[in-house]
């Protein structure tokens, strides 16, 4: 059986990780959340007072940092230098700073190197912003997930409630739009649909509807 690579890109809170996890489980593939890697280095920099705007310092910090993504009972666990930071990297201060860090070309070079390595054996579902365009440009399946800002803010709000993180819809709409803007307008590997990616607008489709579409694409290639 062919161990294919599935790349899922799209803007913030479009449901990428939710569907990627389900698809990975159905295929017994490894799920790799590349956003968690950018969040991890951002979290470490905040902890160590490393200036987020400084490209060289941030790239050096990453070179000295071990990031591990491992499957846990309730989803993927994230470890930085052996410490479990799964919850911490989802907090607001990280979420609202990560796009500053993600624009640094030097840092992205190292991230992409690590991500290519993780994808090299196949049998992976990887989600992020530049997976179809830079990390696995020859992925067997490429999907670009979209949803309206309104819908994404509501989904993130519900997630936050479940996790006990305080937020308001209006604030989330602003933050999501701001992150999309930074991610789409940066010079290095901006958020962009790959020419050969299949676009799915999830605004009015259920999670399982999206999963079915991706599974269909995957099964054609396996
Ligand atoms: O996917 P998630 O929303 O957790 O990603 C957090 C941030 O990490 C994004 O807003 C983006 O700035 C950055 N990112 C990226 N490239 C990726 C994945 C995430 O630039 N492949």
DSSP string spanning 2-24?
A: ---EEEEE-STTSSHHHHHHHHH
Q: Which pTM value belongs to this model?
A: 0.97
Q: Whose CA is nearest to atom 6 of ligand 1?
A: 35
Mean pLDDT, range 34-58, rounded to an integer: 98
- The predicted pLDDT at position 166 comes to 87
- The predicted pLDDT at position 212 comes to 98
pLDDT, tens only, 112-147: 999 999 999 999 999 999 999 999 999 999 999 999
- The predicted pLDDT at position 35 comes to 98
Strand order in the sheet with 75-80: 67-72, 75-80, 83-84
CA distance 71 to 196: 30
Q: For the stretch 174-206, what's the b/e string if a residue is b when 16 or more beta carbons lie within 10 angstroms of its beta carbon?
A: ebbeebbebbeebeebebbbbeebeebebeebe
- The predicted pLDDT at position 47 comes to 98
CA distance 211 to 77: 22
The rounded Å distance from CA 219 to ligand 1 centre is 27
What's the pLDDT band for 161 if we cut at 50, 70, 90?
A: very high
Mean pLDDT, range 56-76, rounded to an integer: 94
Q: Is any atom of ligand 1 closer than 6 Å to the C-beta of 98?
A: yes
Cα 220 to chain centroid, rounded = 25
- The predicted pLDDT at position 184 comes to 97
What's the pLDDT band for 97 if we cut at 50, 70, 90?
A: very high
- The predicted pLDDT at position 24 comes to 97
Q: Given the CA of residue 130, which atom of ligand 1 is nearest to it?
A: 21
What's the pLDDT band for 74 if we cut at 50, 70, 90?
A: confident
- The predicted pLDDT at position 89 comes to 97
The rounded Å distance from CA 54 to ligand 1 centre is 18
Do residues 32 and 221 touch, judged by C-beta distance below 8 A?
A: no
Domains of the chain: 5-209 (3.40.50.300)
Mean pLDDT, range 36-40, rounded to an integer: 98
Q: Tell me: pLDDT of 165 over 90.
A: no
The rounded Å distance from CA 6 to ligand 1 centre is 17
Q: Is any atom of ligand 1 closer than 6 Å to the C-beta of 39?
A: yes
- The predicted pLDDT at position 164 comes to 87
Which are the contacts of 157, defined by CB distance < 8 A and separation ≥ 6? 167, 168, 169, 172
Q: Is the ipTM of this complex over 0.90?
A: yes
What's the pLDDT band for 149 if we cut at 50, 70, 90?
A: very high
């Amino acid at each position: 059986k062919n161990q294919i690579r599935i790349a899922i890109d799209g803007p913030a809170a479009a449901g990428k990780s939710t569907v990627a996890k389900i698809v990975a489980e159905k295929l017994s593939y490894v799920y790799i959340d590349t956003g968690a890697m950018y969040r991890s280095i951002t979290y470490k920099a905040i902890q160590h007072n490393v200036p987020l705007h400084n490209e060289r310092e941030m790239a050096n910090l990453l070179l000295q940092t071990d990031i591990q993504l491992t499957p846990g009972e309730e989803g993927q666990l994230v470890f930085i230098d052996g410490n479990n930071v799964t919850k911490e990297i989802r907090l607001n201060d990280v979420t609202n700073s990560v796009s500053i860090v993600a624009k640094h070309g030097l840092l992205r070079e190292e991230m992409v190197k690590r991500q290519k390595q993780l994808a090299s054996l196949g049998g992976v579902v990887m989600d992020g912003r530049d997976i179809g365009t830079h990390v696995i440009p020859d992925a067997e399946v490429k999907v670009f997930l979209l949803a309206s800002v309104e819908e994404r803010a509501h989904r993130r709000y519900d997630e936050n409630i479940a996790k006990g993180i305080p937020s308001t819809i209006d604030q989330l709409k602003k933050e999501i739009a701001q992150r999309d803007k930074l991610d789409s307008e940066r010079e290095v590997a901006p958020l962009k649909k790959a020419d050969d990616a299949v676009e799915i607008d999830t605004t009015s489709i259920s999670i399982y509807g999206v999963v079915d579409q991706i599974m269909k694409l995957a099964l054609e290639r396996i």
